[in-house]
A and B are shown apart, each in its own frame.
Chain A
Amino acid sequence: MLKSENNTGRLFDTMKQGVKQIGWLAVCLCGIALSMSGCSKTDTGDNTDEMILRRRMPTKLQTLDAGNMRGVYSMEVGGQIYETLYTYHLLKRPYEITPLLAEALPHVSADNLTYTIRIKQGVRFQNDPCFEGGQGRELTADDFVYALKRVANIKYLNQNWSGLKDKIVGLDDFREYTKQFKKELDVDYSREVEGLKALDDYTLRIKLIQPWPQLVESVLTDILSSPVPHEAVEHYGFDIIRHPVGTGPYRLKTWRRGCYIELVRNENWRNELYPAEGQPGDEAAGLLDDAGSPVPFADRIIWRVILEDQPAWMLFMRGELDATGIPKDNFGEAISQQNMDLTDEMRARGIVLKSFDDPSVFWIGFNMADPVLGKNKPLRKALSRTIDRERFIDLFFNGRGHVAHGFVAPGLDSYDLEIARFGYSKYDLQEARELMVEAEAINDGPIGPLKLGMPGTDTFSKQYGQFVQRQFEKVGVMLEVDYMDWPTYMAELNKGQLQLFCSGVSAGAPDAIDFLGMFATKYFSPGGNKFYYSNPEFDELFDKAEVMLTSPERMELYRKLERMVMEDYPAIFTTHRVSYVLHHSWYKNYKPHVFSHRTSKYRKVDVQERNGYKQRLKELKMQEKMAK
């Protein structure tokens, strides 16, 4: 053994010298590496007086092309860039349609077939290199015509066409006409469509094949009808999904896929004001403090893509995100089990809770075109019987949800209060096993392994997948879970490639017709019917319901249609979500809104309060220590 105090001292001296030399080299290499990261180009964000909305994006975005947008995450971002003719009022409840790019509500002809809409003058597209001189031009009625024709173009492989099919005079013929071309841009958009005309620069006329009371709610408030300038489509081609050009209050500054999205104010945004009217109680809640002030308030909006819940939760608690949902593992920390309200710790931090029934439904869907599942109702029913929905809601949502006995969400007019008594959501393993005997007989043998597509690769998704696997195992069905990111999942789902799939929808409008449309044959995927459910009797009644005006007969028909679908078990409907949203006290003008994604322009941050939050956290910690 080599041991001596003197030697040790010299060893360390020599090491120090060596380390010093290597240290310089190391510093140089690290410096080069860091400079390669492009950090010098990044905005430091030190200007804390700037009003920035800081948000989490729990998944990678699919697209920012308005015509092909369907996922809620894309809409959350796209809703700030694109605008529609109409939207829902920020504060009024029940939800009220209000003009956005339109001057006023549409003029509807006596036969309910012709809608004439005046468009606001002086609205400009954002500045973009696709325009001559880079300056955004004025919006005209032709831009709406172009946007809707584009959705109809079969070569523009979009998922929104089903919403327009068989509705507008001449639009289906236009779609047929586009089939002859090789590429989307080869199509001549000047070809006339009788039902879609710009009468002049500021007047749009839509003629329907038959009355369609949901036109405004389902299409003219939906991002699919947002005007997209033809210059942008021609200039960017495929890359239009990364170069949104709209008329909204914000424009895209940076989109680093899978990392972050940053929007900044649109310089060409018109002068729009915060609403001056609301509901009783809104004034007391401070929701009318900014009445009449020009919007948007925030200078920038930043979404950070954070796949896992835990870092997002920590960022929220540290004040680096303005608002968040509550991850299941942190529910106890945030919400007291005794009164289902905020814990004292949360209150001390100035955190505010907003909870509301989200008109949504979630399910484990069956692909009815699948040879194993489609022809085997006992199998689908048996699998439905294996899911203990109440336990599922407790496990994954800490009780924040209602069991889905049907698929029309509570909160919508046509929600059937009696649906629970039909027992579609029953958990009964004994019955499930009996049904499996029948199912195997139909299948001519044991049921082979099934495959479930799961949208997400995070811990929550993995636990969800494992839960379903365990439940199915109880009746001897093996399940393989295929985890994938959101855009991949959506692409696979739209192409009908998933045998089973975990999905959900939130209502886009107060009418339940969209929920029923998920089962109409004419809306097969990439439309809303991802189940490939087809029932001629249902289709016939659905067509009838679609053109009916609001009446008790229509409501009865809706309920009949819902039960008709439920009897066939095209999915295991699990939950209607109850949303719990936390936000910091500096985050202003937040009122839950379930039908619109265009609310960021009204949001405001008390910058001073947010800047003082870290100090407040330190004081709270000190107080906690003192108390201990």
Chain B
Amino acid sequence: MTAYIIRRLLYMIPIVFGVLLVTFCLFTLVGGDISVQIAGKNADAETIAEIRHEYGFDKPLFVGYEPLVDDQWKEPTDPNVLASYIESPDGDDTIILNDYQRIVAIENAKRQWLGGLFKQRLSDGRILDAWSMLDFNSQFLSHFKKAVTFNFGRDRERQKISEKLLQGVGPSLALTVPMFIGSLIISISLSLIVAFIRGSVGDFVIVVVCVILMSIPYLSYIIFGQLFFAYELDWFPIYYDPSRPMAVSVVLPILIGIIAGLGVGVRFYRTIMLDEIRSDYVRTAFAKGLTTPKVLFKHVLKNAMIPIVTNVVLSLPRLVLGSLLLERFFGIPGLGYLMIEAINSRDFFVLNAMTFMMALLIVIFTLVADICYGWVDPRVKFE
């Protein structure tokens, strides 16, 4: 098993690398240089250059400039030529470039030229010459370095992203862990009951209730919970109150999260339990005279563990990232809230960091799920 885990951990390296490549493509290549957004379209060239430098947009993407190559580079000056290297933002055919467009056009021209040179050297078999062009201070490598060291730099408000993430993890977990555990215990317990009494009026009622619970929009639970349980009955705080312990502020959102998720959970686990209950070994167990609880808990639940574990373990990364709606409407300063803030303020730096974290957690928890399969089902062998 140890060898299996080590092997899987090694497999994770190219996966994480792939994730980094995808996030880099999404946020840097597709998203483009956002220095103009930060500086403003009326900013002077110097300001734009400073911002580009601060956020590293002036670095090469992958391929860099060795001094020899740099000497051969000739910067285009003809506005018509430069204009061909940029996309006109408004479909405007004008060739009067502003400061920002000129900077971007020159860089694009240089990148294209370097890319061509790099390919040329490869096709000529000059591997070493091509290798010498790789720049270890490129945008991709700094993206890679930031992710690996979890030092994601600063956001658009110039706050350290890693600090923000760290601050948000606690409140998010305070909300999502109890919500998840509560939801899991109640869902599995109820699903066992309904599987046991399947076909009865009780089963029918519970399934109908589950469908109703699933049909109600999440926001309605929140508004009803705030209005009735917090405002009318005064059982819980209406909104996160920094002058009280966090535990007090998260009780109502936890309950809302559990109730809102119950419909889906019970229906999902009920299906799994029913599939198992119909199996031959269950009939055999009953024929041999085993009691119902023994059959259900010792045999059915155990055999149903594979889909349960898959569902549970793959839900875990989402716990870290919090609950967007609950955090927003209850003002809980978790990562879900941070994500909404980042979207509203177009903070691609934070979104990039959170996307990477999410991807990384999914990769890690997929491995955990695989390991758990062996733990819950002895038939699974690690090879």
Contacts and interface: CB of A to CB of B under 8 A. Distances in A.
A37 B246 contact: yes
A259 B245 contact: no
A256 B170 CA distance: 14
Contact of B158 (A22, A34, A43, A239): A239
Contacts of A14: 293-294, 296-297
B156 to A, nearest CB: 8
A315 B237 CA distance: 9
A11 B293 CA distance: 4
B37 interface: yes
B345 A314 contact: no
Contacts of A314: 226-227, 230-231, 238-239
Interface residues of B, number: 70
Given A258-B333, A314-B226, A497-B41, A13 B245 contact: no
A302 B240 CA distance: 13
A10 B245 contact: no
A39 B239 contact: no
B40 A497 contact: yes
B243 A302 contact: yes
Contacts of B333: 256, 258-259
A485 B341 contact: yes
Among B182, B196, B199, B293, chain A packs the most CB atoms within 10 A around the CB of: B293
Contacts of A525: 42
Interface string A224-253: 000000000000001101100000000000
B241 A304 contact: yes
B328 A39 contact: no
A223 B62 CA distance: 47
B127 interface: no
Interface string B257-297: 00000000000000000000100000000100001111111
Contacts of B47: 157
B40 A39 contact: no
Nearest to A17: B297
Contact of A258 (B193, B244, B337): B337
A495 B192 CA distance: 60
B197 interface: yes
Given A1-B198, A11-B296, A484-B346, A36 B231 contact: no
A262 interface: yes
B252 to A, nearest CB: 11
B253 to A, nearest CB: 12
B353 interface: no
Interface of A: 1-4, 7-8, 10-11, 13-15, 18-19, 22-23, 26, 29-30, 32-34, 36-40, 42-45, 52, 60, 157, 182, 238-239, 241-242, 254, 256-260, 262, 302, 304-308, 310-312, 314-315, 317-318, 320, 369, 371, 457, 483-485, 487-488, 494-497, 525, 614, 617
6 contacts: A11-B293, A14-B294, A26-B182, A34-B178, A256-B333, A487-B157
Cβ-closest 4 pairs across A and B:
A495-B40, A45-B243, A33-B177, A7-B292
Interface of B: 37, 39-43, 47, 50, 90, 157-159, 167, 169-171, 173-174, 176-178, 181-182, 185, 189, 192-193, 196-200, 223, 226-227, 230-231, 234, 238-247, 250, 277, 286, 291-297, 328-331, 333, 337-338, 340-341, 344-346
